[in-house]
């Protein structure tokens, strides 16, 4: 029996992508599967989605090459471009599409000796200040890419929204979208802007291509919502078991650093999941875990392989009973907000020793 499993519900994944397509009927879909498909398993997710999407996107060239080696034939986009000049040859050989965000990348493409030109999205900075050409660089870099025989024409345009999910910064988000459209007016190629939050809330950001990431996995990008609020279904359920059930007396001090003290006689459950599986070490006392249909609070510091829950004095729970850390019945959004992080981080942190199973 596995101590911890990440159960991946492929029908939820299909439900989510089909729902997303209804939200953006005029756009082509790039499924974002970077970081092992947000911890859900790259190949499992890519195989499930391949007939439902137009393209995939990843962050690193090795992720893209491993998909090609597994037979994925759809376009694969490198969201951050490439990090070494030699990669241009790989991009051409593996038929990848790359973002091009600065002068160094333009130079590398100009210098590359390749037979087959590469598809590019020129990336501009519209307000995040992370990657992308600034206003005063756009014209020159665009002209050079358009003049370059190594680049497929027409050149696409891509950017990324920094506050599409942030309450109170709607004006700043609107400015970013408007600026993108202003620059886009002089581009003939495809446009690509919206992430998950853009897809859900900002119709003006819906262009030729959209890039859903977190919503594919049934998770909300907004701090005060969960997937169900958007008619999305959670794809990952992280499951474990009780491996011990024990009585403690009022005043007993529990776990490393005695970080929790029993306020009454109660029953503790020991769940076989810890930070060595990717459960957050900083989960505070009271973080919910779902056991036998009820939410019970964590108690004390999360250990590497185990964590404690307070099952309550009347507990009838037994060794072997299932514990759901997040997913079906317990939104990962709720766990993340208790832990002072975002659900993206929790699902990405699933460790290799966790057994990934699909249903
Ligand atoms: C990760 C990423 C996305 C997907 O973002 P979500 O919020 O998960 O939808 C889209 N575009 C870029 C450039 C990214 O890095």
**SS3 (DSSP) at 338:** helix
Q: Which atom of ligand 1 is nearest to the CA of 32?
A: 4
Ligand 1: centre distance to CA 38 (Å): 11
In whole angstroms, give the CA distance from residue 327 to residue 345. Answer: 14
**Which of 79, 31, 85 shows the shortest CA–CA distance to 53?**
31
Domains recognised in the chain with CATH numbers? 10-221 (3.20.20.10), 236-358 (2.40.37.10)
- pLDDT of 40 reads 97
Given CA atoms 348, 350, 355, 358 in this order, what sign does their dihedral have? negative
Q: Cα 336 to chain center, whole Å?
A: 14
Residue 179 known to be catalytic: no
- Exactly one of 22, 228, 256, 275 is catalytic; name it: 256
Identify the burial level of 46 via C-beta atoms within 10 angstroms of its C-beta, where 0-12 means exposed, 13-18 middle and 19 or more buried.
buried
- Exactly one of 21, 26, 34, 172 is catalytic; name it: 34
**Cβ neighbour number for residue 261 with a 10 Å cutoff:** 14
Ligand 1: centre distance to CA 77 (Å): 12
353 annotated ligand binder: no
Q: Which atom of ligand 1 is nearest to the CA of 195?
A: 9
Identify whether 203 is preceded by a cis peptide bond (ω within 30 of 0). no
Q: What are phi and psi of 187, to 5 degrees?
A: -115, 140
Q: Cα 252 to chain center, whole Å?
A: 40
In whole angstroms, give the CA distance from residue 216 to residue 196. Answer: 8
Ligand 1: centre distance to CA 194 (Å): 8
Nearest residue by C-alpha to atom 1 in ligand 1:
213
Q: What are phi and psi of 320, to 5 degrees?
A: 100, -20
**Which of 37, 6, 2 shows the shortest CA–CA distance to 351?**
6
- pLDDT of 51 reads 97
Q: Which atom of ligand 1 is nearest to the CA of 59?
A: 15
Residues with CB under 6 Å of ligand 1 are: 32, 34, 79, 160, 195-196, 211-214, 221
Q: Which atom of ligand 1 is nearest to the CA of 80?
A: 13
- pLDDT of 1 reads 67
In whole angstroms, give the CA distance from residue 202 to residue 297. Answer: 37
Tokens of 107: 């130079």
| The pairing of beta strand 5-8 with beta strand 355-358 | parallel
- DSSP helix, strand, coil percent of the chain (3-state; round to 5): 30, 25, 45
Q: pTM of the entire structure?
A: 0.96
- pLDDT of 2 reads 86
Ligand 1: centre distance to CA 299 (Å): 34
Residue 21 known to be catalytic: no
130 annotated ligand binder: yes
- pLDDT of 272-299, one tens digit each? 999 999 999 999 999 999 999 999 999 9
Distant-in-sequence, close-in-space partners of 19: CB < 8 Å, separation ≥ 6: 231, 232
Q: What pLDDT tens digit does each residue of the chain (359 aa) get?
A: 689 999 999 999 999 999 999 999 999 999 999 999 999 999 999 999 999 999 999 999 999 999 999 999 999 999 999 999 999 999 999 999 999 999 999 999 999 999 999 999 999 999 999 999 999 999 999 999 999 999 999 999 999 999 999 999 999 999 999 999 999 999 999 999 999 999 999 999 999 999 999 999 999 999 999 999 999 999 999 999 999 999 999 999 999 999 999 999 999 999 999 999 999 999 999 999 999 999 999 999 999 999 999 999 999 999 999 999 999 999 999 999 999 999 999 999 999 999 999 99
Distant-in-sequence, close-in-space partners of 27: CB < 8 Å, separation ≥ 6: 194, 206, 207, 208, 209, 210
């Amino acid at each position: 029996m596995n101590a911890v499993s990440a159960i991946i519900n492929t029908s939820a994944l299909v439900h989510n992508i089909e729902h997303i397509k209804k939200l953006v009927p005029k756009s082509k879909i790039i499924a974002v599967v970077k970081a092992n498909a947000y911890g859900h398993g790259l190949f499992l997710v890519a195989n499930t989605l391949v007939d439902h999407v137009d393209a995939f996107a990843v962050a690193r060239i090795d992720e893209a090459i491993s998909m090609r080696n597994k037979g994925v034939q759809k376009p694969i986009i490198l969201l951050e471009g490439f990090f070494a000049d030699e990669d241009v040859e790989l991009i051409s050989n593996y038929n990848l599409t790359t973002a091009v965000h600065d002068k160094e990348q333009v130079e590398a493409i100009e210098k590359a000796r390749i037979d087959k030109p590469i598809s590019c999205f020129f990336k501009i900075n519209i307000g995040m200040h992370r990657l992308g050409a600034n206003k005063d660089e756009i014209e020159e870099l665009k002209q050079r890419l358009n003049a370059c025989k190594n680049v497929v024409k027409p050149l696409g345009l891509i950017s990324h929204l920094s506050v599409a999910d942030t309450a109170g910064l709607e004006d700043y988000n609107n400015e970013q979208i408007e600026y993108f459209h202003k620059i886009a007016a002089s581009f003939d190629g495809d446009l690509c802007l919206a992430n998950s939050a853009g897809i859900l809330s900002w119709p003006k950001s819906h262009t030729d291509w959209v890039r859903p990431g977190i919503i594919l996995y049934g998770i909300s990008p907004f701090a005060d919502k969960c997937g169900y609020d958007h008619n999305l279904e959670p794809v990952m359920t992280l499951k474990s078991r009780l491996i011990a059930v024990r009585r403690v007396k009022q005043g007993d001090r529990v776990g490393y650093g005695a970080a929790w003290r029993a306020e009454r006689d109660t029953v503790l459950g020991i769940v076989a999941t810890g930070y060595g599986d990717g459960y957050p070490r900083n989960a505070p006392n009271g973080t919910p875990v779902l056991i036998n249909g009820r939410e019970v609070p964590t108690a004390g510091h999360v250990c590497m392989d185990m964590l404690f829950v307070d099952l309550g004095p009347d507990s009838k729970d037994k060794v072997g009973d299932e514990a759901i850390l997040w997913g079906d019945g317990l939104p990962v959004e709720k766990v993340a907000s208790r832990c002072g992080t975002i659900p993206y981080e929790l699902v990405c942190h699933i460790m290799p020793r966790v057994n990934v199973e699909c249903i």
